[in-house]
Structure 1
Amino acid sequence: MRPRAVVTGLGAVTPLGVGADELHRRAVAGESGLADGLGLCRDFRPADHLSRQQIRRTDRFTQLALVAAAEALAQAGWTDGPPPYPAERVACVVGCALGGTASFETQAEVLRQQGAEFVSPLMVPAMMANAAASQIAQRHGLRGEALCLASACSSATQAIGTALLLLAAGAADAVVVGGAEASTSELVRAAFRTAGALSESGRSVPFDRDRDGLLIGEGAGILVLETEAGAAARGATVLGEVLGYGSTCDAHHLTAPDPTGGPAARAVTLALEAACVTPGQLGYLNAHGTGTVLNDSSECEALRLALGPALDAVPLSSTKSCTGHLFGAAGAVEAIATLQALRHATAPPTVGLREPDEKLGPLNLIRHATPLAAPALPGGRRAGLSTSFGFGGHNAALVLAAADAPGTTGTTKGQE
């Protein structure tokens, strides 16, 4: 029997602010961190959290990850001294799709204007996609396996899945895991614009009849995962669980999803089967929901294949409507948003949703903060589903669970 993987720490830096609680508070309030067609972490100032040397040696995506990791580890009670496990038994897995694009673009301009001798030797360790995992491990003395998952927009979800597998295999006692991304430059936006994915209207509203694409954001989300036995032995507070993970590949097209939704549906089914959760037990669904016509349509097809009639009743929203698309960080931030919704018994809306696209079929789309139904799992826990789909045909899904946080009162189902 595989050990249960529990969450003991959450950390996030997003366009909604610094902190996992701030992410939930503002998302539930229907606020948006999007402005001028971008989701920037405007409240994040590296100097408030990091030394001058750390700032000089890291790209912004790593800085976001370091701060999110510090929050998660502090909540898990790891702040004083070494980790509560042998350092060699603590892994670090961080997803990132594009890496340090800001560092690369800056140094490319230096090369163009000043010559090769002025290019910084720090560019390579700053731009490499594994920099966030490396820096977190170095800062906190984590000497187990450290790696980066780079599978486009499913990177962080697959990182969490990898952490789950490491714990289940007995290869680690704990994993610091998540995703980070800060690729908001004009070059990146131009590439997505010419690919037909970027919103021309400057607003991204998944599942809306008038949706016209995604908006790019930046951010990081980090979770601390431990075995249930390990967390209990050290008296840690359990915030939730990762019950199941599923992943497949479309093997269909460079950027377009499989129009049948079959492979994506199988990823969801695999996650539910691993979690021993039925579609009818899901209390909330945080969809990938990018806001492109093609992605939203194919995702809804996949969800309908996997969940059947139960899909019509599950409260569903996309937090990309308030953060933008965080690429390699999206899955981790959305997993945190899902856990927070389950813990506080309130799901965040899809911000700006006015006219749901009737072509997507019957859906319980959330347009205002929605109290969640009473827990459906043993132990007074709610279950939630978070999905991620990436360019290249990467499909990944997580089933998460959490009991009510202390002081939570919203336990009846509501719908707008």
Structure 2
Amino acid sequence: MSNKRRVVITGIGMLTPLGHDTESSWQAIRRGEVGIAELTHVQEEELDIALAAELKDFKVTEYIEGRSARRMDEVTQYGLIAAREAFRQSGLQAGEFDSNRAGVIFSTGIGGINTFEREKQAGIEKGYNRVSPFFIPLTIANMTAGTVAQDLGLHGLSTAVITACAASTNGLGEAFHKIRDGYLDIVVAGGAEAAITPMGVGGFSAMRALSKSTDPKRASIPFDAERDGFVIGEGAGALILEDYDHAKKRGAEILGEILGYGSTSDAYHMTAPDPEGTQAARCLQLAVEDAGIRPENIGYINAHGTSTELNDISETNAIRKVFGDHADQMKVSSTKSMTGHLLGASGVVEAAFCVLGLKEQWVPPTMGLKKPDPDCDLDYVANAGEDFSYDYALKNSLGFGGHNACIVLKRYLAD
């Protein structure tokens, strides 16, 4: 086991409903801002969903040249923007590292649904022999990974993990293992989602998964007794994971460290979590064991915390199973109360919040938590972030299909 390599984080990028980069998004989290507002991307009168967490004042041509942008679905545009920011922060320069040992794992839950809907309509109106030749490339879920690899000139593994809302957490975990086990030196690990479309909103609404609240401050309210569903969001996040020795040799700023990864399957139901949280708990346990630490070392959990009735109780049960009495000493919060649910991108964005929180010794709040659910009885850091001394955090994600994924992150202190 001693030959396993340390894996550190040297770059962060994000594009969220709270800001168009890491700094603006994080400062909004620090202020407890809520990025939820009136749904504008969808104009369907029959939908009874009023709110979404959309990107604000976003113009893709400010980040990507127009012709190139037109050859990408929104999901790929968002992912590329986040990846470029993370790569810039890392200080990596082409020609100064072995591109054959640098890869991309860029995940999504849904993929290019905007293109799919546009081209479906074009087929209806013009005939299906008139759809764009870019229809397939823009729609497939692996295209963001391929685009990022091409843009940054990375020739190692390039792939996507597709596990619904656990996708980018699974992607981070797989990237972590690829570096730890010596297959790669660098991985751009990210996730992107752009599913605020008529079918995206309509589909989740038909499942009764979305909040019907008209109050942005009382819509995404994880662990609250009055929660009634999640608020759909959009955006992307990316982390540069790197072998510790590789990062030190080139003088990179190290932002944090990944220590462990766990992944399990409920094998219970298509969309509902196991109410007992048995496999979700085992996932937490596996991540802690993989990190080589004890459960009581974890100071903070960034919960999946979707604001749905079943998820929040099941996740609370899983945390109690693993952490026992220590669960009452930890901080647990859901930043989805501010960002909305970024679906397949949520895990990596929330992992980035963990890295920044560890660095600043602060934990984000769960905003909007006014009436605690008696079945959700942990310290959810209600309505205001807190200064807190801790060295280890855990990011937890759950996805339709029964997918569970967890990663353990460590505060980095210079050697």
TM-score bracket for this pair, using the shorter chain length: over 0.9
SS in 2 for 1:221: strand
Shift in Å at residue 364 of structure 1? 4.3
- 1:107-150 per-residue CA deviation (whole Å, 9 max, x = no partner) reads 11111112223311011111110111000000010000100100
User: Is 197-206 or 64-73 further displaced after alignment?
Assistant: 197-206
Deviating beyond 4 angstroms after TM superposition, the runs of 4 or more aligned structure 1 residues are none
Q: Partner residue of 1:355? A: 371
Q: Which residue, 38, 55, 74 being the options, matches 1:60?
A: 74
Unaligned runs of 5+ in 1: 376-381, 406-416
Give, as a single letter, the amino acid of the residue that structure 2 aligns with 1:22: S
Give, as a single letter, the amino acid of the residue that structure 2 aligns with 1:19: D
Give, as a single letter, the amino acid of the residue that structure 2 aligns with 1:242: I
Give, as a single letter, the amino acid of the residue that structure 1 aligns with 2:26: H
- Paired residues of 2:364 and 2:381 also in contact (CA < 8 A): no
Q: Partner residue of 1:250? A: 266
1:187 and 2:196 are equivalent in the alignment? no
Q: Partner residue of 2:20? A: 18
1:299 and 2:301 are equivalent in the alignment? no
1:48 and 2:62 are equivalent in the alignment? yes
- Paired residues of 1:348 and 1:366 also in contact (CA < 8 A): no
Q: Give the TM-score, by structure 1 length.
A: 0.93
- Paired residues of 1:7 and 1:224 also in contact (CA < 8 A): yes
Map 1:198-213 → 2, pairs under 5 A: 198-202=210-214, 203-213=219-229
1:173 and 2:185 are equivalent in the alignment? yes
SS in 2 for 1:270: helix
SS in 2 for 1:360: coil
Q: Partner residue of 1:379? A: none
CA distance in structure 2 between the aligned counterparts of 1:139 and 1:306, rounded to whole angstroms: 42
CA distance in structure 2 between the aligned counterparts of 1:398 and 1:238, rounded to whole angstroms: 18
Shift in Å at residue 196 of structure 1? 1.7
CA distance in structure 2 between the aligned counterparts of 1:356 and 1:128, rounded to whole angstroms: 41
CA distance in structure 2 between the aligned counterparts of 1:362 and 1:152, rounded to whole angstroms: 26
Q: What is the CA RMSD across the aligned residues, in angstroms? A: 1.3
CA distance in structure 2 between the aligned counterparts of 1:258 and 1:156, rounded to whole angstroms: 21
- Paired residues of 2:364 and 2:386 also in contact (CA < 8 A): yes
Shift in Å at residue 17 of structure 1? 0.6
Change (3 A) 1:312 1:89: same
CA distance in structure 2 between the aligned counterparts of 1:25 and 1:283, rounded to whole angstroms: 22
- Paired residues of 2:101 and 2:186 also in contact (CA < 8 A): yes
CA distance in structure 2 between the aligned counterparts of 1:100 and 1:269, rounded to whole angstroms: 34
- 1:281-328 per-residue CA deviation (whole Å, 9 max, x = no partner) reads 222211000000100010000111111111112111101111111111
CA distance in structure 2 between the aligned counterparts of 1:33 and 1:362, rounded to whole angstroms: 25
CA distance in structure 2 between the aligned counterparts of 1:238 and 1:44, rounded to whole angstroms: 30
Map 1:282-297 → 2, pairs under 5 A: 282-297=298-313
Shift in Å at residue 356 of structure 1? 1.4
Q: Which residue, 133, 157, 170 being the options, matches 1:158?
A: 170
CA distance in structure 2 between the aligned counterparts of 1:219 and 1:364, rounded to whole angstroms: 24
Unaligned runs of 5+ in 2: 39-50
CA distance in structure 1 between the aligned counterparts of 2:353 and 2:109, rounded to whole angstroms: 20
SS in 1 for 2:394: strand
Give, as a single letter, the amino acid of the residue that structure 2 aligns with 1:81: A
- 1:151-178 per-residue CA deviation (whole Å, 9 max, x = no partner) reads 1100000000110111122111111111
CA distance in structure 2 between the aligned counterparts of 1:73 and 1:358, rounded to whole angstroms: 44
CA distance in structure 2 between the aligned counterparts of 1:269 and 1:395, rounded to whole angstroms: 12
Shift in Å at residue 279 of structure 1? 2.5
CA distance in structure 2 between the aligned counterparts of 1:221 and 1:43, rounded to whole angstroms: 18
- Between Structure 1 and Structure 2, how many residues are aligned? 396
Q: Which residue, 81, 102, 115 being the options, matches 2:94?
A: 81
- Paired residues of 1:261 and 1:301 also in contact (CA < 8 A): yes
Map 1:94-113 → 2, pairs under 5 A: 94-113=106-125
CA distance in structure 2 between the aligned counterparts of 1:42 and 1:128, rounded to whole angstroms: 26
